[in-house]
Structures are given as structure tokens and as C-alpha cells.
């Protein structure tokens, strides 16, 4: 399919989400704005689609990739929800934490291939949520940058950085230059005890405070 560009406005969010869902269903790649950076989106549970993202970024296939989901109900189809996950999802600001859970038996495709976990976050972004609800499955949300390079905040700079690999992108949703924001804090809840893998928008102390029962 030929690359298409949509310039995002308040008036065309629904239309943009619908077009993105069509591209995702066809196994395509969407460059889209999230509540942190621009992300590269594909069907997170498709081997072929996820392989495209690794190729575009030049990313080591041994490094896991996370997804966005619309709500806990969506992720519960594929991963084992814990009480701590529900508690943190309720108490922490939306979009600022990524959770890593043990995947359910029977799922071994896409970002869950060869690993025992599924990483996800629920974004605080209207376009992302509408894309997810229209598509109905998790979508990759890895930052749109060449592996090892600093993520850029505008589409033009992203496409320049990706170089020839950018030709694989099927749909660009351009929201202009995004403001600088901290990456999400990554919390591993797949084991017997929570583990903070990356401190970001939420401090480690903020995570532990949210986990305390009253």
C-alpha cells in the first residue's frame, strides 16, 4: 500500500483512528502520536507485523517490545492480571506506567514470541484509545526511532532518522512536534514481588506508595 499522511486535528480524530485500524488489520505499520512520543504501531500479536517494526528500527530481536491497550479488559485476554496490577492501574496517573505481566498459555505470537511475559500500558491519549477500541487488539507502541538513537519529536525528523527503512511505514498520523515528556515507568508484576525495571514519569517511591494497602 502507498504511504498516506493524515494531519491530526480535533475534528478528524475518529476518522484517523478508523483509518489506522484498517491499516493495522491489513498488517501495515502506522506512525502515530502517543502521550509520550511518536510510536510505531502494528498488530502486537502478529509475527509478520512485529518483524516489520524490528526491521524499521534496526532493533535487536532479543529485546522485548511493549504494547498499548484500551483497558485492563483487553489485556486480560492475553495476560494474567494480578491484584497489584489492578491497584496500580487504579491509583497511578493513566499512561505513566508500563506493566509487565505473565502471559497466558496459548499465546506465543508477535511481541510475546519466545518470552513468558506481555508488557503494556493504557495511554492517556484520545487517538490511541480510539485506535485500540476500533482495532480491538493490542498495538505496539515502541518509540519511532532508529535503535540506539535519540527519539525525535516531529515526523520530519523521525523519517530522516529512519532513512530508507521509513519506506515501510504505511500511514503517518502527524500531530506536529510533540512536547517533551518523560517515558513511562516500567513495573514487572510477573513474579512473586513487584520489580521496577525503569524509573520514568513516576518515581520508584510513587510506585511503592501506590502499592501500600490502606
Query: Bigger pLDDT: 1 or 165?
Result: 165
Mean pLDDT for 87-92 is: 95
State pLDDT tens for residues 12-61: 999 999 999 999 999 999 999 999 999 999 999 999 999 999 999 999 98
pTM for this entry? 0.95
What pLDDT score does 212 carry?
86
Pick the closest to residue 67 from 136, 133, 138, 130 (CA basis): 138
Which residue carries 483497558 as its cell? 71
What pLDDT score does 213 carry?
62
* Nearest-angstrom CA–CA distance, 73 and 175: 28
What pLDDT score does 106 carry?
86
Contact 124, 77 (CB under 8 A): no
Domains annotated for the chain, with CATH where assigned, are 4-211 (3.90.870.10)
Ranking 130-139, 182-191, 205-214 by mean pLDDT, the lowest is 205-214
Residue 80 has pLDDT above 90, yes or no: yes
Q: What integer best gives the mean pLDDT of the chain?
A: 95
Amino acid at each position: 500500500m502507498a504511504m498516506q499522511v493524515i494531519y491530526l486535528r480535533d475534528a478528524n480524530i475518529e476518522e484517523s483512528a478508523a483509518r489506522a485500524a484498517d491499516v493495522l488489520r491489513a498488517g501495515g505499520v502506522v506512525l502515530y502520536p502517543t502521550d509520550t512520543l511518536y510510536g510505531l504501531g502494528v498488530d502486537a500479536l502478529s509475527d509478520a507485523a512485529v518483524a516489520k517494526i524490528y526491521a524499521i528500527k534496526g532493533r535487536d530481536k532479543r529485546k522485548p517490545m511493549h504494547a498499548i491497550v484500551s483497558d485492563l479488559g483487553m489485556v486480560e485476554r492475553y495476560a494474567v492480571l494480578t491484584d497489584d496490577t489492578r491497584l496500580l492501574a487504579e491509583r497511578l496517573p493513566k499512561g505513566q506506567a508500563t506493566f509487565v505481566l505473565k502471559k497466558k498459555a496459548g499465546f506465543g505470537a508477535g511481541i510475546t514470541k519466545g518470552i513468558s511475559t506481555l508488557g503494556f500500558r493504557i495511554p492517556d491519549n484520545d487517538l490511541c484509545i480510539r485506535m485500540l477500541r476500533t482495532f480491538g487488539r493490542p498495538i505496539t507502541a515502541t518509540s519511532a526511532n532508529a535503535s540506539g538513537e535519540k527519539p525525535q519529536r516531529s515526523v520530519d525528523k523521525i523519517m530522516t532518522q529512519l532513512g530508507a527503512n521509513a519506506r515501510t511505514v504505511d500511514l503517518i498520523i502527524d500531530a506536529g512536534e510533540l512536547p517533551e515528556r518523560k517515558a513511562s515507568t516500567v513495573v514487572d508484576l510477573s513474579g512473586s514481588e513487584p520489580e521496577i525495571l525503569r524509573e520514568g514519569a513516576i518515581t520508584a517511591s510513587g510506585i511503592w506508595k501506590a502499592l501500600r494497602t490502606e
